[in-house]
């Protein structure tokens, strides 16, 4: 295999779902290259980084290299394009438009589906970049069948050009489930967790709007996450309600503890390119109540309870079912473990390695079928 390169701009960005994806894929690629070739690739695969990148991941087969003096889009479009003298893997929605031998991962088209979740500048940047990359990049990767169809339907890329490289969730095996001192209270079986931001497509207002109903039935809502004010803006009802806890950003250890103790995770999004939190929840033994829209049923299979994102009564019914029916709860936990086990970062890394090999041989990448096995429960 000839030298190839990874776009390391994600190491200059705050950690969200897209950046976690890039970190986990790069780590899995590193391990896969070590396993397959005993480090032979250490001089042939480079992670190219802007000068302001914080290299806080350990790599053994992939060589990190800082290049250039520009930052952000300017670094990506000009300096990265110049230094990547081979196949380039860009994992976080953007890449240099003029670098044709490139795989770009476009996670979703949420800026088109829910433009109100994003600033005008952010929306227009993606509206310009995505179709351009869809034309110039040799391959487009995405994380679900749902996203692949949307990318094709919006004319961003032809379906034959799209490969599905799902998220994994086995990183949760490293999350320690001991009790953090800061969390020895306020997390019980009457607590419903929700992860995310106040972006409108995350639909947090559905749950906060139910605060009185939840409190009447002895339930609380814990909202975990960080608001990116420069991108997202929304009004959240009942923000000061006593049955709602605003937990901010937590460590992985704290998240694992919350999942282990909570009644369930609620995931009410209107749209998601993939939706990783439900799988993380399942892998840690926490049942999931999820929206029945977009990619979410594809990812969660039959291991979750579903409700429409505009039907609070259906959500309350699901929450109360989990509270009062222990058999249902245990069946969901068992099914969730099996469903989460389908999605591994190693499998995703192999998908990318196969795609890179095909591009280096000048073969046309074809649409692949993601892991679609689901688990039923009774």
3-state SS string for 149-186: HHHHHCCCCCHHHEEECCCCCHHHHHCCCCCCHHHCCC
Burial of 230 (0-12, 13-18, 19+ CB in 10 A): exposed
Q: CB within 8 A of 320, min separation 6: which ones?
A: 217
Q: Residue 373: inside a domain, yes or no?
A: no
Decide if 336 contacts 377 (C-beta within 8 A): no
Q: Residue 371: inside a domain, yes or no?
A: no
Q: Tell me the pLDDT band of 177, cut-offs 50, 70 and 90.
A: low
Q: What is the span of the domain harbouring residue 122?
A: 4-168+344-360
3-state secondary structure of 139: strand
> CA 120 to CA 352: how far, in whole Å?
32
Same domain, 125 and 198: no
Q: Residue 181: inside a domain, yes or no?
A: yes
Decide if 201 contacts 174 (C-beta within 8 A): no
Same domain, 217 and 322: yes
Same domain, 207 and 162: no
| Claim: this prediction has a pTM higher than 0.85 | yes
Q: Residue 376: inside a domain, yes or no?
A: no
> CA 252 to CA 270: how far, in whole Å?
26
Same domain, 217 and 112: no
Same domain, 175 and 310: yes
Tens-place pLDDT, residues 350-373: 999 999 999 998 866 654 444 444
Same domain, 348 and 290: no
Decide if 198 contacts 269 (C-beta within 8 A): no
CATH of the domain at 193: 3.40.50.2000
Q: Residue 377: inside a domain, yes or no?
A: no
> What average pLDDT does the segment 112-116 reach?
95
Q: Residue 375: inside a domain, yes or no?
A: no
Report the percentage of the chain scoring pLDDT > 70: 88
Same domain, 91 and 73: yes
Same domain, 80 and 111: yes
Same domain, 355 and 334: no
Q: Tell me the pLDDT band of 185, cut-offs 50, 70 and 90.
A: very low
Decide if 62 contacts 89 (C-beta within 8 A): no
Q: Residue 98: inside a domain, yes or no?
A: yes
Q: Residue 260: inside a domain, yes or no?
A: yes
Buried b vs exposed e over 39-77: b needs ≥16 C-beta within 10 Å?
Answer: eebbebbbbbbbeebeeebebebbebeebbebeeeebbb
Total domains in the fold of the chain:
2
Same domain, 32 and 52: yes
Give how far the C-alpha of residue 296 lies from the chain's centroid of Cα atoms, to the nearest Å. 12
Same domain, 193 and 336: yes
Same domain, 120 and 210: no
Question: What integer pLDDT is reported at residue 47 of this predicted model?
Answer: 98
> CA 128 to CA 118: how far, in whole Å?
15
3-state secondary structure of 364: coil
Q: In what order do the strands lie in the sheet with 63-66?
A: 63-66, 45-49, 4-7, 87-90, 102-105, 139-142, 162-164
Question: What integer pLDDT is reported at residue 43 of this predicted model?
Answer: 64
């Amino acid at each position: 295999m000839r030298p190839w390169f990874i776009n390391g701009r994600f190491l200059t960005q705050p950690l969200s779902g897209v950046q976690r994806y890039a970190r986990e894929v790069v780590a899995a690629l590193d391990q896969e290259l070590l396993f397959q070739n005993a480090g032979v690739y250490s001089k042939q695969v480079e992670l190219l980084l802007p000068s302001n990148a914080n290299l806080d991941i350990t790599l053994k087969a992939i060589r990190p290299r800082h290049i250039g003096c520009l930052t952000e889009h300017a670094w990506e479009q000009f300096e990265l394009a110049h230094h990547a003298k081979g196949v380039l893997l860009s994992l976080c929605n953007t890449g240099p438009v003029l670098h044709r031998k490139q795989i770009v991962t476009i996670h979703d088209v949420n800026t088109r589906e829910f433009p109100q979740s994003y600033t005008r500048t952010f929306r227009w940047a993606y509206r310009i970049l995505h179709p351009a990359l869809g034309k110039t990049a040799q391959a487009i990767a995405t994380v679900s069948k749902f996203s692949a169809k949307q990318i094709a339907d919006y004319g961003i890329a032809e379906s034959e050009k799209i490969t599905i490289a799902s998220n994994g969730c086995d990183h949760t095996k490293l999350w320690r489930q001991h009790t953090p001192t800061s969390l020895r209270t306020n997390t019980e079986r009457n607590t419903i967790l929700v992860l995310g931001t106040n972006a409108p497509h995350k639909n947090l207002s559905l749950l906060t709007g139910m605060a009185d109903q939840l409190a009447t039935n002895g339930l609380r809502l814990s909202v975990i996450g960080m608001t990116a004010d420069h991108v997202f803006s929304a009004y959240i009802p009942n923000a000061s309600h006593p049955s709602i806890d605003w937990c901010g950003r937590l460590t992985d250890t704290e998240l694992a503890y919350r999942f282990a103790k909570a009644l369930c995770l609620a995931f009410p999004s209107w749209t998601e390119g993939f939706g990783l939190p439900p799988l993380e929840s399942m892998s840690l033994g926490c049942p999931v109540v999820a929206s029945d829209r977009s990619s979410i049923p594809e990812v969660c299979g039959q291991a979750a309870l579903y409700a429409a994102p505009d039907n609070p009564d259906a959500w309350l019914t699901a929450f109360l079912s989990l509270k009062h029916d222990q058999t249902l709860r245990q069946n969901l936990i068992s099914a969730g473990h099996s469903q989460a086990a389908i999605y591994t970062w190693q499998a995703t890394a192999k998908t990318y390695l196969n795609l890179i090999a095909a591009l280096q041989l000048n073969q046309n990448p074809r649409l692949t079928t993601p892991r679609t096995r689901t688990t039923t429960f009774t």
